[in-house]
Amino acid sequence: MNNFNLAEISEQESYTNPMSEKAIGIFDSGLGGLTVLKEIVKLLPHENTVYFGDSGRTPYGSKSGDTVRRYSQQNTRFLLEQGVKMIVIACNTASAQAYNEVKAMAGVPVIEVISPGAQAAIAATSSQRVGVIGTRGTVQSGVYAQALTRVSGRPLRISQQACPLFVGLAEEGWWNNDIVRSVASIYLEPLIKDNVDTLVLGCTHYPLLTQAISSVMGPEVKLINAGRSVAEQVRQQLQRADLLNQQTTEGWHQFFTSDSASHFQQLGSTFLEQRIKAAGHVEIENY
């Protein structure tokens, strides 16, 4: 009996779910999601990934919910066609507006970036005064306030602020100069007045501006980069679904964009802080 059981266990251990070798699919409105990809690769170096950046239609943050949902569904269809085992919506606006629609059509686990960020913020705050910054779309949707309240279970004081220019500043490469600090001072003033002790960077572009934001908020305010929590969430869900890639070599990484591939390679390498050697162009409106 014992032997039989042992044999069964060892057979289970050597069994590899064929789905596990497939890639993790990640999409974003453009380049910001590369800050999430970076954290996933850091935590899960053996995973393969397929990234789609919708740079041809970026940004999502100023667009209506209907438009963001339509785009997110097309992006999902493209990633599913690549045979991915999981979809990560690495864009706060799309997570806020289109999570249910993507989940309904995916047939594989879907991870969004709001809940992991909210969990990390609740773990970090001691005063229960939490700030959230993001695009206009994310802030207006109110999803962060909902997620924070749901996760916390305690009375919270939540202060939200849309920072539309931060994306343009990040893409201009102005990550920590006088201008970005002046813009940050204007946007962040209400959050400083509200005495938040924790600030959620609710847009995947914002981690690039960490130093400028921190210099305005003060060193005692904890900044939450959801990317790290998202990567941890990806690990947990893959493990639970027996989908962690068992290969011992480094994973491969594919990049696709709806704008020109060379353009994406050039700017994306800055965001990823690593050279993107190849990228493919996708006519995403056909999906």
Phi and psi at 131, nearest 5°, equal -100, 150
Helix (H/G/I), strand (E/B), else coil: 90: coil
Outline where the chain has alpha helix (H). 2-14, 34-43, 65-81, 92-106, 114-124, 136-141, 143-152, 165-172, 178-193, 210-217, 226-240, 261-272
Catalytic status, residue 163? no
Decide whether 47 or 171 has the Cβ nearer to a copy of itself: 171
Nearer Cβ to a copy of itself, position 106 or 183? 183
Q: Which is nearer to a copy of itself, 156 or 165 (CB)?
A: 165
Where does this chain bind a copy of itself (CB under 8 A)? 55-57, 62-67, 164-165, 167-169, 171-172, 178-179, 182-183, 186, 258-260, 262-263, 285
- What minimum distance in Å lies between the beta carbon of 162 and a copy of itself? 10
CB of 232 to a copy of itself, least distance (A): 33
* CB of 182 vs a copy of itself, minimal distance in Å: 6
Q: Least distance in Å: CB of 137 to a copy of itself?
A: 10
Taking each helix axis from N to C end, the angle separating 210-217 and 178-193, rounded to the nearest 10 degrees, works out to 50
Q: Which of 270, 67, 265 is nearest to 174 (CA)?
A: 270
Residue (61 or 227) nearer to a copy of itself, CB = 61
Taking the C-alpha atoms of residue 161 and residue 102, their distance in angstroms, rounded to an integer, is 26
- Beta carbon of residue 174, minimum distance to a copy of itself (angstroms, whole number): 8
> Please, which residue, 224 or 261, has the CB nearer to a copy of itself?
261
Which of 65, 251 has the CB closer to a copy of itself?
Answer: 65
Q: Which among 203, 208, 216, 276 is annotated as catalytic? A: 203
Classify 78 as helix, strand or coil.
Answer: helix
Give 129-152 as a DSSP string. EEEEEE-HHHHHHTHHHHHHHHHH
Q: Which residue out of 91, 234, 279, 284 is catalytically annotated?
A: 91
Q: Is the dihedral of CA 21, 26, 31, 34 positive or negative?
A: negative
What token pair was written down for 39? 């954290």
Long-range residue pairs from 148-155, CB within 8 A, at least 24 positions apart, any chain = 148/118, 148/121, 148/122, 148/200, 150/118, 151/115, 151/118, 151/119, 151/122, 152/122, 152/128, 154/128, 155/128
Q: In the complex, what is the shortest distance from the CB of residue 238 to a copy of itself, in angstroms, rounded to a whole number?
A: 34
Catalytic positions are: 91, 203
